[in-house]
Structure 1
């Protein structure tokens, strides 16, 4: 006769729908920005998909909110879905989300650098720059996001980024 164990039922991780934005310029450089609250943390603009919003609409909204670039200043080149990461140390966002599931969009920037405004709404970044994709450093990214960034660089640029030296 077997004994039944009263084990707690595992709660599945809920992933918040999210978009990431790879903005490229005419020289095929990519836009990266440094988080205002974490010096040395450089990343792509990203943000959540609001209720009733599709991913493409969220991408244009987040781009305008975070870096001041509007839809008329970009050309959408490609989209890839299904990138997921869990937050570090079991952290929850909004009390329910244990991670994010991202759709990444690559867009060509058609405007001028002066069209970029980090203080367009609520400022999340302290500075920005254009870099070649191969110049991106994995130690700029929190550990829990690194697998996604590695896959994004492989999928969009055919680049295998090396792990940080540290």
Structure 2
């Protein structure tokens, strides 16, 4: 299969700032780490439905993936960011229909309590664990093909860390 013949999947992502200006990452239940145990830490993200506004989609995805949409948008990345799947995942990941994803990213401030975060809200949860991390650690947690996007998110949203810390 030639990846160049496949489209990118439209997607939204959430850099969800919580206590002390840290961000929420979740561990994928279906992506093992090098030792075969659960791994694959990532930010909440998901597809945009046909005709759906990305600002609506990001709240829908938060509710589906972490059980709550109690947040407010602080910033929107000005560009759509893309990544390509590695060759071994083309035709398998993302339903086998896409070469990668074209993403609109948002920085949000979490307005709820930790009790609101429910990874079991969906009958088939995508994640099995979550934690708060420093924004600057995101690239080290990402799978290699998503690392450049996470590096860009750190650059784009680093200015928000201090203001979120001051509100906590």
* Aligned counterparts, 1:143-162, within 5 A: 143-157=144-158
Partner of 1:47, secondary structure, is strand
1:91 equivalenced with 2:90 (yes/no): yes
**Comparing both chains, which one has the higher relative contact order based on Cα–Cα distances under 8 Å and sequence gaps of 6 or more?**
2
CA–CA distance in structure 2, aligned partners of residues 34 and 61 of structure 1 = 19
CA deviations over 1:6-41 (Å, ceiling 9, x no partner):
xxxx95541111011011014111001111122231
CA–CA distance in structure 1, aligned partners of residues 148 and 16 of structure 2 = 20
Tell me which of 11, 14, 29 is aligned to 1:21: 14
Which structure has greater helix proportion? Answer: 2
- Structure 2: gaps spanning 5 or more residues: 32-37, 160-168
Residue 136 of structure 1 corresponds to 138
Partner of 1:119, secondary structure, is coil
CA contact (8 A) 2:138 2:151 kept: no
Partner of 2:75, secondary structure, is strand
* Aligned Cα root-mean-square deviation (Å): 2.0
- Name the larger-Rg structure: 1
The verdict on how the C-alpha distance between 1:135 and 1:86 changes in structure 2, with shifts beyond 3 A counting, is: closer
| TM-score (normalised: structure 2) | 0.79
| TM-score (normalised: structure 1) | 0.80
Residue 162 of structure 1 corresponds to none
- How many residues are aligned here? 147
CA–CA distance in structure 2, aligned partners of residues 113 and 64 of structure 1 = 14
